[in-house]
């Protein structure tokens, strides 16, 4: 069987969150609850895989299995997986933002969903839910 090389780099998509206090400078409790549920695209401190980028690359290399059908078909390329790093560091809402083929997409999702808890993102001193996009690159040697 051919050897496969897996590469991945994390990209955090950016957009500025809007906070609007009420007229007295306080936020109503319903607004605070909505903020707790907000998924940030831009944060002061991006979420991080435990051990950093090199640890994430090692995790991907050790855990991704190149599907045999994709190897036989010579499928290569980049699967972009979008997910949310929750305030507790867990991964949720994982989906393929851009894929290659059903089997490679499914494998990239499986590995992302099985990741250990991350260090969550922070914005304005608070731990927040943050969207993250991870490219998972499949290359046949």
Whether 117 is covered by a domain: the verdict is yes
Range(s) of the domain holding residue 126: 30-140
pLDDT tens-digit series, residues 64-109 = 999 999 999 999 999 999 999 999 999 999 999 999 999 999 999 9
Percent of the chain past pLDDT 70, that is, above it, reads 75
SS (H, E, C) the chain: CCCEEEEECCECCCCCCCCCCCCCCCCCHHHHHHHHHCEECCCCECCECCCCHHHHHHHHHHHCCCCHHHHHHCCCEEEEEEEEECCCCCEEEEEEEECCCHHHHHHHHHHHHCCCCCECEEECCEEEEEEEEEEEEEEEC
Query: In which band, very low, low, confident or very high, does the pLDDT at 59 lie, cut at 50, 70 and 90?
Result: very high
Whether 58 is covered by a domain: the verdict is yes
Whether 21 is covered by a domain: the verdict is no
Count of structural domains, the chain: 1
Q: Which of 12-16, 24-28, 75-79 is most confident? A: 75-79
Tell me the CATH number at 127: 3.30.2420.10
Whether 2 is covered by a domain: the verdict is no
Whether 17 is covered by a domain: the verdict is no
Residue 1 has pLDDT above 80, yes or no: no
């Amino acid at each position: 069987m051919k050897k496969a090389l897996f590469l991945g780099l994390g990209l955090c998509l950016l957009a500025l969150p809007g906070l609007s206090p009420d007229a007295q400078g306080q936020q109503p409790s319903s607004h605070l609850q909505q903020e707790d549920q907000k998924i940030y695209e831009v944060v002061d401190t991006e979420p991080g895989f435990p051990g950093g980028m090199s640890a994430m690359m090692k995790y991907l290399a050790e855990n991704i299995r190149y599907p045999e059908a994709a190897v036989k078909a010579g499928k290569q390329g980049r699967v972009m997986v979008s997910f949310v790093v929750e305030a507790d560091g867990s991964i949720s809402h994982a989906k393929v933002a851009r894929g290659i083929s059903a089997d490679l997409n499914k494998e990239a999702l499986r590995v992302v969903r099985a990741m250990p808890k991350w260090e969550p993102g922070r914005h304005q001193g608070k731990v927040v839910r943050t969207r993250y996009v991870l490219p998972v690159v499949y290359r046949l040697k």
